[in-house]
Structures are given as structure tokens and as C-alpha cells.
Amino acid sequence: MRLSALAIFCLMTLTVVGCGTKRTFISIETRPTGAQIEVNGEYYGESPVKISLEEFAHFKHGSQSIKAKAEGYTEHTRVVNPSWYTDPNNHTIDPRTGELGYRLHIHLLRDTRQ
């Protein structure tokens, strides 16, 4: 049985990026960029923020509260529970390093009460 180059590439990709591959970070992005990001009340910087799961080892244990706030926009809190990590739509690859991770994108709404 002969395999085409495309079939071999697909098999290699599945082997490298398979389901059991360890993810090493979570990337939190917002629209607009530059929003202040807090995870469980701890400030992590302005978006986009890349958090190492090794540095933040307790991140996957239980639900996490992720807050994004920016001047002129309504503050938004997102609760991420353990099932969030299993959704392939939340998986990403860092294009610079090739690391596998998770991605959370938050759209902030303009605050119209002003």
C-alpha cells in the first residue's frame, strides 16, 4: 500500500498535534486590545496576555474567574470551567514557538451609560 505525501503529512500532524499533547499556556485576547486582565482577582497585565500553565499550575483545577476591563467599556467577567479545556475551538498554536495552548477571546461592549 502506497501513501501519498499528503497522507503522510496528515499522519505526522496527527501524531505531533494529537489529543494527548500537553498544552502549555492560555492566551487571553480582548477586543479592544489593551484591556486589563485579572484571573481570580490577580492582575496579569494588559491584553493580549499569555499565561504559562506551569507558572499558573492551579489554573485547570475548578472554575476560574477571568475579568477584562477597559476605560469606556463595560467590565466583563467570564467563568471558565474544566469542560472549557476539552472544546477544540479553545485550542491554539503559538505561531512563533509552535507551542500548543488554549485561547480565550473576550469582546468588550462600549459603556453607553456615560
Indicate which CATH number applies to the domain containing 34. 2.60.40
75 near 67, Cβ under 8 Å? yes
CA 87 to CA 102: how far, in whole Å? 10
Question: Does 49 reside within a domain?
Answer: yes
Question: Does 16 reside within a domain?
Answer: no
Entry pTM:
0.72
pLDDT digits (tens, 9 = 90+) for 8-59: 333 333 333 444 467 788 899 999 999 999 988 889 999 999 988 776 555 5
Strands of 91-93's sheet in order across: 49-52, 25-31, 100-107, 91-93
Domain count for the chain, please give it.
1
CA 98 to CA 73: how far, in whole Å? 33
